[in-house]
């Protein structure tokens, strides 16, 4: 018969181990084993992206890809750990042996198959930017994502509140689990890819693009007196006194609701849906992380299919300012705005460096795939120029302005409940609006795009401050880059750095500018974000 050991207790103390050894003849069936576990030395840092491991469940054993695992195996359960489990874990070995009635081995093994160690996985994350993002968001409820718009590489990803993946390394305690799953702020939810919320006024950038492509926005001018009536109902502007005369440029940097109500009414829901869908809303981005949400981009057909009801024209008005039925995830929004900033270039967001992945992963996930959405150059220039004024005194987020950095962006505030419900509960903090900001630098051919979601942040300008802190960290790092970094053979792991410095003359003054190079030691590997047990690959 085959024997499967039953684990009675984990993490036994040295005294308990000594007791078992001292009474081994009396307890022949009892044995101690050395077990390895995944260690996450940085705890909650980047927890949602990395994920966690745990014992394979019975349900997982019945799923494709887990046929060769056995009860007790430790596998990835979320994040990168789950997405790239096959790479990180390697393959189990096996031994066929003869055992006696007590389950003890007798003689030599009949057959042995060595295990294959897991491989390391290189991520696209810039650790310096990740630290900046983690510090920027602090203990606020929400998410921050930074992406390279040229490649789709995720440079930073934070979701709050976070959790400690070490709690899951073997078996999480029931009390800890109950606390996590009952927390109303959902700490186990990766809000960067799973939070589905109304985008608020950030959606106006897609509206502006759609309006320009349809030759409507170029000549559209409205007078905003604080609201406008459509289909027998008054829709208010966020500035109750109104914006006065408004064209497309002013509508973007001052976020005039009345302008976009009017534009939405002229476009209609199906044309709005056509462009929003082209920029990836209402569908998964394809990011290489599990359980990504798809969001919702409504249309007449969508409502008929899901609710068997006709779409009403009045519903389109709310969609025009990113309210109503439209909901997005932060990673969807960053991809859409990235595409607009890059003249229609659509990339696939990803967290694993494709250069180190097996070819079968690249074929399935299309990490390097690039799509092109037609965007008129004149419209693209006008829209991004208007976005650059959002952080100026006349815009909606002047407090997020950083002198010397050319940032274009858009704020957004999304209602969690209807205005009527909100009026009844004015003092209830749970009804606070969600703040959004998505921005990039520089305005032309940007190097980085950042999206910030601040749940309960009330105003988009608060989210803008979080995002621009990350942008500033990125720009500062680029300015700190050494003038020359060259690996030379025979330097024993050292790197030659080109440098400039000053030194005083013999009198101690008149500093002279000098140039040269020096060698610095480089670690063979960076600090691991997750330390691997034997047989498990590490994440760098």
DSSP H helices, 279-376, are: 300-307, 313-319, 330-341, 359-365
Q: Are 470 and 133 in contact (CB under 8 A)?
A: yes
C-alpha to C-alpha distance for 349 and 259, rounded to whole angstroms: 32
> Which DSSP letter does residue 57 get?
P
> Encoding tokens for residue 428?
């209830």
Q: Are 404 and 422 in contact (CB under 8 A)?
A: no
User: Considering only CA atoms, which of 282, 302, 301 is closest in space to residue 292?
Assistant: 282
Q: Which of 78, 94, 101, 201 is catalytic?
A: 201
Q: Given the structure tokens 């702020």, which residue do they identify?
A: 185
Q: Are 429 and 494 in contact (CB under 8 A)?
A: no
Q: Per-residue DSSP letters for 162-217?
A: ---GGGGSS---HHHHHHHHH-TT-TTS-HHHH--B--GGGGHHHHHHHHHHTT-G
Q: Are 373 and 474 in contact (CB under 8 A)?
A: no
Straight-line distance from the first to the last Cα atom of the chain, in angstroms, rounded to the nearest whole number: 43
**Number of other CB atoms surrounding residue 277 within 10 Å:** 13
> Encoding tokens for residue 37?
């576990």
Q: Is 375 left (phi over 0), alpha (psi -120 to 50) or beta?
A: beta
Q: Are 74 and 53 in contact (CB under 8 A)?
A: yes
Q: Per the omega criterion (within 30 degrees of 0), is the bond before 66 cis?
A: no
> Encoding tokens for residue 507?
């009198």
C-alpha to C-alpha distance for 392 and 252, rounded to whole angstroms: 12
Q: Which residues contact 225 (CB under 8 A, 6 or more apart)?
A: 242, 258
- Told to judge if 201 belongs to the known catalytic residues of this protein, a careful annotator would answer yes
Q: Are 166 and 45 in contact (CB under 8 A)?
A: no
Q: Are 71 and 56 in contact (CB under 8 A)?
A: yes
Q: Which amino acids are annotated catalytic?
A: 201
């Amino acid at each position: 018969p085959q024997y499967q050991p039953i684990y009675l207790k984990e993490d036994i103390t040295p005294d308990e181990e000594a007791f078992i050894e001292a009474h081994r003849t009396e307890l022949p069936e009892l044995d101690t084993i050395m077990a390895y576990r995944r260690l996450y030395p940085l705890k909650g840092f980047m927890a949602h992206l990395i994920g966690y491991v745990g014992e394979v469940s019975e349900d997982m054993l019945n799923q494709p890809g887990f046929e060769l695992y056995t009860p007790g195996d430790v596998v990835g359960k979320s994040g990168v750990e789950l997405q790239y489990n096959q790479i990180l874990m390697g393959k189990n070995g096996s031994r066929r042996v003869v055992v006696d009635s007590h389950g003890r081995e007798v003689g030599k093994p009949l057959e042995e198959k060595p295990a294959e160690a897991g491989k390391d996985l290189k991520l696209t994350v810039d650790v310096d930017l990740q630290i900046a993002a983690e510090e920027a968001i602090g203990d606020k409820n929400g998410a921050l994502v930074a992406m390279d718009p040229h490649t789709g590489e995720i440079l930073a990803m934070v979701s709050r509140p976070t959790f400690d993946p070490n709690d899951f390394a073997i078996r999480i305690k029931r009390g800890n689990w109950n606390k996590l799953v009952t927390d109303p702020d959902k700490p186990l939810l990766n809000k960067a890819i799973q939070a589905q919320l109304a985008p608020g006024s950030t959606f106006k950038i897609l509206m502006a693009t759609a309006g320009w492509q349809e030759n409507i926005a170029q000549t559209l001018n409205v007078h905003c007196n604080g609201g406008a009536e459509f289909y027998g109902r008054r829709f208010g502007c966020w500035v109750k006194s109104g914006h006065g005369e408004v064209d497309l440029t002013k509508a973007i940097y001052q976020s005039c609701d009345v302008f976009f109500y009017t534009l939405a009414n002229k476009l209609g829901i199906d044309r709005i849906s056509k462009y929003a869908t082209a920029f990836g809303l209402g569908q998964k981005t394809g990011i290489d992380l599990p359980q990504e949400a798809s969001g919702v981009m409504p249309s007449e057909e969508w409502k008929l299919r899901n609710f068997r009801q006709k779409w009403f024209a009045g519903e389109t008005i709310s969609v025009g300012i990113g309210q109503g039925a439209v909901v997005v995830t932060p990673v969807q929004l960053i991809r859409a705005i990235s595409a607009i900033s890059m003249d229609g270039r659509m990339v696939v967001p990803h967290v694993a460096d494709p250069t180190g992945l097996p070819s079968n992963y690249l074929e399935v996930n299309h990490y390097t795939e690039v799509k092109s959405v037609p965007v008129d150059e004149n419209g693209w220039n006008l829209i991004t120029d208007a976005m650059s004024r959002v952080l100026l005194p006349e815009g909606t987020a002047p407090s997020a302005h950083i002198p010397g950095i050319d940032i274009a962006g858009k704020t957004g505030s999304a209602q969690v409940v209807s205005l009527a419900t909100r009026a009844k509960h004015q003092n209830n903090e749970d009804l606070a609006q969600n703040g959004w900001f998505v921005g990039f630098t520089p305005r032309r051919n940007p190097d980085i795009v950042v999206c910030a979601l601040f749940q309960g942040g009330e105003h988009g300008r608060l989210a803008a401050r979080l995002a621009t802190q990350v942008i500033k960290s990125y720009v500062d790092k680029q300015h700190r880059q050494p003038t020359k970094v060259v690996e030379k053979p025979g330097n024993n792991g050292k790197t030659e750095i080109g440098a400039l410095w000053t030194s005083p003359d013999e009198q101690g003054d008149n500093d002279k500018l000098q140039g040269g190079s020096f060698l610095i030691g480089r670690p063979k590997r960076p600090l691991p974000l997750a330390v691997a047990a034997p047989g498990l690959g590490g994440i760098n």
